Amino acid sequence: MSYMLLIVEPNGQRATRTEAQGREAYAQMQAFGESLRAQGKLAAVASLAGLGDAVRVSEAPGVPRRLDGPFAEAKEMVGGFFLLDGVTREEAIALARQCPAAQWATVEVRALAPCFDESRA
């Protein structure tokens, strides 16, 4: 089965780190990703830019909306992800606990699945 580890970090946390601290955190995350790749469990990985360049788009009926970041109300942001393939739920949870980001952020484990209940189709 496939699972995504979402790195949910406090908004603005990156700005509190020195350059050396930021590079060290990034190196730890890269090493974790390489370990997953070597185990054959990594399908994809990416780090995401902060909310300063983000854009939120919605197309509610008759009300198109675009909101440019940063988003003052956002307390957290998704800072990146690891997409795992061929792992069980328990393996995904164990890997989330091993993720270096668990020391400074929340690692959310989510199964990939359809956005509707197939049993009702």
The arrangement of strands across the sheet holding 76-84 comes to 42-47, 76-84, 3-10, 106-111
- Does domain 3-113 fall under CATH 3.30.930.10? My reply is no
Give residue 32's pLDDT.
Answer: 98
Most confident of 40-44, 48-52, 112-116: 40-44
In the three-class reduction of DSSP (H, G, I as helix; E, B as strand; rest coil), residue 56 is classed as strand
* Residues 6-46: tens digit of each pLDDT: 999 999 899 999 999 999 999 999 999 999 999 999 999 99
In the three-class reduction of DSSP (H, G, I as helix; E, B as strand; rest coil), residue 81 is classed as strand
* Residue 81 contacts residue 101 (beta carbons within 8 Å): no
54 HSE (CA, 13 A, CB side)? 15
Instruction: Give the type of residue at 93.
Output: I
Q: Which residue has the tokens 């440019």?
A: 68
Give residue 90's pLDDT.
Answer: 98
